[in-house]
Every structure is written in structure tokens, then in C-alpha cells.
Structure 1
Amino acid sequence: MDSINIPLELVSNILSILILLGIFFRYYQYKKKLDVLKALDDLKNKNQLTLEDKEFINKNYKDYSVLLQRDEDRLKLFYPIFILIAGVLLAFLSFQEAMIHINVIVVAYIYLQVNKIHVRNFVNFLKELKNENEKD
């Protein structure tokens, strides 16, 4: 049986495209969640927050705070790994080939950063809503 040869560059490009699709999907989720927080902010400004809304804010604040800490820890772990992989690629491949594969590392790094920024924004928004609730 003849084996099918798939160029490694094609695999790298497909991985990059999949990660980019993941970024767009995360952005879509972010916008939907942000709409919910804006609605809660509008209710807060009108002094119409219910007890369930306040519990939702407190619960999500705790959850997203833990998630933010986990994302920051994950980034601290992946930074050296990404640098190591890039160094190995540059050491063993020609510069042109290495750049094709480093593209995946760059896109993965961007994905992790975007995810951390979204979670940090949610924590800040929820913290603001939570602090306003405690004043009431």
C-alpha cells in the first residue's frame, strides 16, 4: 500500500488555522457574555438587581477569579516551553522552514493571551458590579 506524504508545512498551517478559528470562537463567546454583563450593569444603574442577579455576580466573580489565576499559571508554564520549541526549530531546521512552524507557536501564544485578557476583563467587570452591590 502506498503511503500518503503530507508536507509538515501543511500540518503547521492547518494547526494555525484551527487555532485562529478557536480565537474567533472565543471572541464570539466573549461578546455574548459581555452582553449579559452590560444588561446586569443597566439593571444595577436602575437599582433593579434581584437577589438572583447578585448571587450570579458573586458566583461568577469567584469562578472567573479562579479561572484567571489558572490562565496566568498556564501562561507562566507555556512561555518557556514555547521558547524552547522555537529554539529547537531554529537549531535543527533552516530559517525558512523554522519560521513556518514558529507560526503555530505565535498563534498559540496569541490565543492564550486573548483568553487571559477576556477572563481578566470579566473579573474586572464583575468586581465592579460586586463592589457596587456591596455598597447598596
Structure 2
Amino acid sequence: MRFVLVIYHGTTPLPGTPEAGRVSEADKKAVYADYVALNEMENWTGAPPLGLPKDATTVTVTDGAAVRTEGPWLGLRHAVGGFAVVEAEDLDAAIAIAARVPQARMGGAVEVRPSVKYY
């Protein structure tokens, strides 16, 4: 089965912020090693990292016209940091992979959704 992992920052320090500077070198190396290991998995397809939420632009359509709003759709606490697609035997296997994503243990969360074809 195919699952999409939506990776939320939560309280995980965002790169380029003063809080990120307080993350120990050991923790930074562990996060890097975790992502290297995930990206080496044959059943993991990671998306390119997203830019910071403060740099996001949200677009909605009102009366047929695009309306541009600076910032993320969700608040910064719920900022999406990235996505991945995994092939897993079942939901439990997908959850086991999601638990390896660093944000899941660093104040963020990983949402696991089955990928479905609607048409």
C-alpha cells in the first residue's frame, strides 16, 4: 500500500532560527543520519524540503479571482515541514516508518494517510 507522510514541525526548531542554534551538534548529526537512513530505504520517496513557513504565500480564490495572503495556511505551530511517500504492507508498517522521522520525537508530528485514487 502507498501512504503519504505529512511532516509537521510542531516545536521542532526551524532551520535558520535562533532556536535552531540551540540544538546540540550531536542532535543535528542524529537528525542528519536519520534522514540519510530514510532516504536510503527503497520504499521511501522523500520530497524536497520546504522553505520556512514565514516565506509561504497562501492562495485562495474568491469570486473567481486569486487572493494572495502572506504566510502559511496553518499557523506556525502546525507548519508543514515536508512530505514523503512510502510503500508499506499495512498501516502499522507505515507508522513504524513515520516513527523514524526526527520531527516525530522532537516536538512535531508525522501524519500518515493512505494514498487513494479518486478517479
Query: Structure 1-normalised TM-score?
Result: 0.25
Which protein shows a greater Rg? 1
- Name the structure with the higher helix share: 1
Is the strand fraction higher in 1 or 2?
Answer: 2
User: Could you tell me the TM-score, scaled by structure 2's length?
Assistant: 0.28
